[in-house]
């Protein structure tokens, strides 16, 4: 999108022209610009389609068995590809850091044994053995299935300092981590059900 954030020089005429142009663009795209402004500002450089940096993740079977560490190409898709693959809700949450309404998701009250995978790329993220009842209405875990499989990012959306949690393999936004969880870690990974796919242990 348009970058309105780097006009710091004085009003000489080329800059003035550029500003006038940008002001017209902003006026023309008023609704869109407002949407951009309201978008969560999670500080992370997303890879562009066509670039696939390598990442290290740990692979797990659906029974929760740790298989091996793997160096794989990050899953990178265009907005259109993600939109086709995901429900509207899952798209907004995973690709644009939205948050589902508390008690509305399908996993906050699930107590079955199994593992939770990424809705976007199927990477293993959490084990039901670490899930706990947080009372928040979002599925909550005290640790990820493997530290490599999630990436923590500083998030200053709405002027609040938080730590967002993303899938290492595909950059899907999963939720946030807080330090008011139970032992043994004291952490609370507060996730969106819509970012996850539960694989039941059979």
Tokens of 135: 């009372």
**Residues that are catalytic:** 190
Cβ contact 192:175 at 8 Å: yes
Question: Which of 86, 118, 146, 196 touches Zn ion by CB under 5 A?
Answer: 118
Stretch that binds Zn ion, among 54-62, 84-92, 115-123, 133-141 (CB under 5 A): 115-123
In this complex, which beta carbon is closest to Zn ion, that of residue 23 or of residue 163? 163
- The one segment of 16-24, 30-38, 116-124, 143-151 that binds Zn ion by CB under 5 A: 116-124
Residues 52-111 that bind Zn ion (CB under 5 A): none
Residue 145 found at the interface with Zn ion (CB under 5 A)? no
Name the segment binding Zn ion (CB under 5 A); options: 36-44, 59-67, 121-129, 140-148: 121-129
Candidates 90, 100, 169, 193: give the one binding Zn ion (CB under 5 A).
169
The minimum distance between CB 28 and Zn ion, in angstroms, equals 36
84: Cα separation from own chain's centroid: 18
Which tokens go with 102?
Answer: 């508390």
Indicate the residue among 93 and 170 with the shorter CB distance to Zn ion. Answer: 170
Interface residues toward Zn ion, by CB under 5 A: 118, 120-121, 123, 167, 169-170, 172
């Amino acid at each position: 999108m348009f970058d309105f954030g780097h006009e710091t020089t004085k009003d000489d005429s080329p800059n003035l022209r550029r500003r006038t142009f940008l002001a017209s663009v902003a006026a023309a795209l008023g609704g869109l610009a407002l949407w951009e402004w309201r978008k969560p500002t999670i500080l992370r450089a997303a890879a562009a389609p066509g670039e696939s940096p390598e990442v290290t993740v740990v692979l797990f079977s659906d029974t929760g068995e740790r298989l091996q560490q793997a160096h794989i190409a990050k899953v990178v898709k265009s907005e259109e590809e993600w939109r086709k693959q995901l429900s509207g809700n899952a798209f907004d949450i995973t690709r644009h850091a939205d948050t589902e309404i508390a008690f509305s998701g399908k996993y906050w009250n699930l107590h079955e044994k199994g593992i939770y995978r990424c809705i976007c790329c199927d990477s293993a993220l959490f084990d039901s053995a670490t899930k706990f009842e947080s009372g928040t209405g979002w599925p909550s875990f005290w640790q990820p299935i493997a530290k490599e499989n999630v990436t923590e990012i500083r998030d200053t959306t709405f002027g609040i300092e938080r730590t967002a949690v993303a899938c290492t393999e595909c950059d899907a936004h999963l939720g946030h981590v807080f330090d008011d969880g139970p032992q043994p870690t004291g952490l609370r990974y507060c996730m969106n059900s819509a970012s996850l796919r539960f694989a039941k242990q059979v």
